[in-house]
Amino acid sequence: MLTIYHNPRCAKSRETLQIIKDADADVAVVEYLKNPPTEDEIYDLLTKLNLPVDYLIRKNEELFKQQFKGKNLSDDEWVKVLAENPKLLERPIVVKDDEAILGRPPENVMKLL
């Protein structure tokens, strides 16, 4: 079973989800803007991704540019920011068991299929 943290308005997220569906894989879709991950869930995703929090921050978002650009926050502070502002969360994230990938490019999901 795969879980995708998905934004239906994002082309890369839609492409990644389509690859999963085309592979007939079981998938749970989490629309993270409607159901934002908690801080604990973000820490769990970071562990599964094996990436620093910096990789999960969408730096081209207006919200980032207006409120967070140039700020020197700790990892814990960034996790709190992401939990409070899910729009800043990089997407899509696909999880399978203890592994996860960023779907950029969407073909990255093949590693989990």
Residue 90 per-residue DSSP state = -
> Active site includes 49?
no
Question: Looking at 1, 8, 10, 53, which residue is catalytic?
Answer: 10
> Strand 99-102's sheet: what is its strand order?
27-31, 2-6, 93-96, 99-102
| Beta strands per DSSP E along the chain | 2-6, 27-31, 93-96, 99-102
| Beta strands per DSSP E along 2-98 | 2-6, 27-31, 93-96
* Catalytic machinery residues: 10
